Amino acid sequence: MYAENGFSAFDYCTLVGMLVGSSGIGFYIAYKGSKSPEEFLMGNRVLKTIPVSMSLLTSFTNAINILGFTGEVYANGMQISTVAFGPPLAILFSSIFILPIYFPLKLTSINE
């Protein structure tokens, strides 16, 4: 194992690529056309339960991956990869039991 101080060129390229890609997608969607808040935030309420549950799960696991997985792997190794078995079960559970209850209520957020 070797110690390295700071980012390497590859790390900077990866970071900048992720930021440019994310910003590009955001600008493309923002300037593609004027949309109502309902259409932009909720997909005009035409999505089925599986895509909605996958989107919710992705937004949750993305925050965890960015904030915690890298430090966990650095400290304890790759056994954290066993977490990959949970998301398919969560998608099935939420699409079968949770979303059919909340989706017809036409709520924008859980706080409503």
Q: What is the pLDDT of residue 36?
A: 73
Q: Is the pLDDT of residue 21 over 80?
A: yes
Question: Which helix (H) or strand (E) element contains residue 21?
Answer: helix 9-31
How open is the CA angle 62-29-106, to the nearest 5 degrees?
Answer: 70
pTM of the model: 0.40
State the pLDDT at residue 3: 59
